[in-house]
């Protein structure tokens, strides 16, 4: 038997090395190389051979070079997940033979979202492999998601002690639950069941016998994910992996795990808020700018089709430091509330804090406000918050940030019915933004009376009769003059 080989792998980016290195030459991080043991035994590839044994009718096929004109350009067939938000983030549905990684903090709702989705896929045979929960725990969660408690069904909130079995039509007979952590056993069950979709919850709990390390280690996660990828590509069965994120906010395991999979989606949000954001980080079959919004309720996750109405439910008339911005994430326009608080620095050094907004961009906007507009904020603490626990990356939010900061600084509220959208440049100009008509239409639909936007966008705007008053501006001073006189 050949002797095992020692190698070192960077836990941040997956870079391999024959010896230990203090600083990773690929990502530049220090002290990230971990020792792994690579087996040279002939049985090392058992997981790979097990994956190849479950191929569905493609054992004899071999790949060969094709000319570009010989390759079909038809759309990739997709599976409808019966969830508009999830379908949008995936690019129109789940692609057959793809492998998707769903990440998020512990307790954020990854398993709930997955189980809730596959309970509605009654026309697909789904194998749900759980390495963290027992079958009884999954059954209890499924019953809660299906509203089988007597009190929920009858509308009586007090009658929650007695439960009854769900009707046969309520449960999905094509959903098979497997509690297993061995990769070899999982492939054996896949061969027997022949599922049309496989769920792994979570990838950090799965291990293979041919790697001498504990589950969740770099080697285990990489080898198990690679074996599942070979199975998905060879059989055409989509695989959904659920993964945790570490304390730095990135997906646990080596960075190479994100390179292996086809799609990486992240479920994020503050546990103190009711909203959850499904964001696409990587997608080989669609756009990475899509966004899905859910509302966490007692009986599961509810899709939020119109987030603007939920984010603007509070009445802030007469309160300073609040501005409404018409933002766009992906293809969806919605209005977000920007809150700011400016106060005198109590400890000498002014503080700058931003929640849901880029901290460095806030510092840049404060410098523009001081240099171009003339408001001195050197000795002031500035706190910024995007209401609802959202994180907005749209640059058109700049104008509302400056308006909210100035409103709090002078303690003057912005009139109700006003919203704005515009990117602010370093010279104080309001730069043009994309898809202005959608932003205006969304504000008009929600009953706003006035909107401030870049004057340059008037050139490409189609002639359309808006009921909302349009206020095009070129500089930040013009926008502030409209708001505060």
* Ranges assigned E (strand) in 39-196: 78-79, 94-95, 99-104, 126-130, 175-179
pLDDT band (50, 70, 90) for residue 421 = very high
In this predicted structure, the answer to whether residue 149 has a pLDDT above a threshold of 90 is no
pLDDT digits (tens, 9 = 90+) for 112-134: 999 999 998 888 999 999 998 89
Distance between first and last Cα of the chain: 84
Q: What is the pLDDT of residue 3?
A: 61
* pTM for the full predicted model: 0.75
pLDDT digits (tens, 9 = 90+) for 20-37: 999 888 778 888 888 776
Minimal CA–CA distance to 172: which of 214, 210, 135, 118? Answer: 118
pLDDT digits (tens, 9 = 90+) for 347-358: 778 899 999 899
Return the bridge partners of 380, or none. 344
Residue with more model confidence, 12 or 58 = 12
Instruction: Give the three-state DSSP class for 372.
Output: helix
pLDDT digits (tens, 9 = 90+) for 194-239: 999 999 998 989 999 887 777 877 778 888 999 999 999 999 999 9
Instruction: Give the three-state DSSP class for 441.
Output: helix
Minimal CA–CA distance to 390: which of 214, 304, 269, 259? Answer: 269
In this predicted structure, the answer to whether residue 281 has a pLDDT above a threshold of 60 is yes
């Amino acid at each position: 038997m050949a002797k095992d080989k020692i190698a070192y792998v960077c836990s941040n980016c997956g870079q391999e090395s024959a010896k230990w290195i203090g600083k990773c030459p690929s990502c530049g991080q220090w002290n990230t190389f971990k020792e792994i043991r690579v087996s040279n035994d002939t049985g090392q590839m058992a997981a790979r051979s097990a994956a190849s044994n479950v191929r569905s009718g493609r054992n004899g096929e071999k790949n060969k070079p094709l000319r570009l004109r010989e390759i079909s350009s038809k759309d990739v067939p997709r599976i409808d997940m019966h969830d508009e938000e999830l379908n949008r983030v995936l690019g129109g549905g789940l692609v057959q033979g793809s492998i998707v990684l769903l990440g998020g903090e512990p307790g954020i709702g990854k398993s709930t979202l997955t189980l809730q989705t596959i309970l509605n896929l009654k026309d697909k045979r789904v194998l749900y492999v759980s390495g963290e929960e027992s079958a009884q725990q999954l059954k209890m969660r499924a019953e809660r998601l299906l509203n089988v408690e007597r009190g929920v069904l009858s509308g009586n909130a007090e009658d929650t002690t007695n439960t009854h079995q769900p009707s046969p039509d309520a449960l999905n007979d094509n959903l098979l639950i497997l509690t297993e952590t061995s990769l070899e056993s999982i492939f054996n069950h896949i061969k027997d069941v022949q599922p049309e979709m496989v769920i792994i919850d979570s990838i950090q709990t799965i291990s293979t016998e041919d790697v001498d390390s504990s589950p969740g280690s770099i080697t285990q996660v990489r080898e198990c994910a690679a074996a599942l990828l070979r199975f998905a590509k060879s059989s055409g069965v989509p695989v959904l992996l659920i993964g945790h994120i570490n304390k730095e906010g990135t997906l646990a395991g080596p960075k190479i795990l994100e390179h292996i999979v086809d799609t990486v989606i992240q479920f994020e949000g503050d546990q103190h808020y009711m909203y959850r954001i499904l964001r696409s980080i990587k997608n080989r079959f669609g756009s990475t700018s899509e966004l899905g919004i859910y509302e966490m309720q007692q009986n599961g996750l509810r899709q939020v089709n119109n987030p603007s109405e939920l984010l603007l439910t509070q009445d802030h008339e007469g309160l300073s430091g609040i501005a409404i911005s018409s933002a766009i994430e992906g293809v969806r326009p919605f209005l977000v509330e920007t809150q700011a608080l400016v106060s005198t620095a109590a400890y000498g050094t002014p503080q700058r804090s931003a929640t849901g907004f880029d901290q460095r961009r806030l510092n840049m906007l404060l410098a523009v406000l001081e240099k171009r507009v003339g408001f001195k904020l050197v000795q002031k603490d500035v706190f910024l918050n995007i209401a609802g626990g959202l994180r907005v990356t749209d640059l058109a939010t700049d104008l509302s940030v400056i308006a909210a900061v100035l409103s709090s600084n002078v303690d003057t509220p912005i009139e109700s019915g006003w919203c704005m959208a515009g990117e602010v440049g370093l010279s104080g100009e309001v730069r043009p933004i994309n898809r202005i008509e959608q932003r205006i239409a969304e504000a008009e639909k929600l009953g706003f009376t006035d909107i401030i936007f870049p004057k340059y966008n008037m050139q490409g705007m189609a002639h359309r009769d808006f009921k909302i008053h349009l206020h095009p501006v070129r500089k930040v001073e013009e926008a502030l003059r409209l708001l505060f006189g």
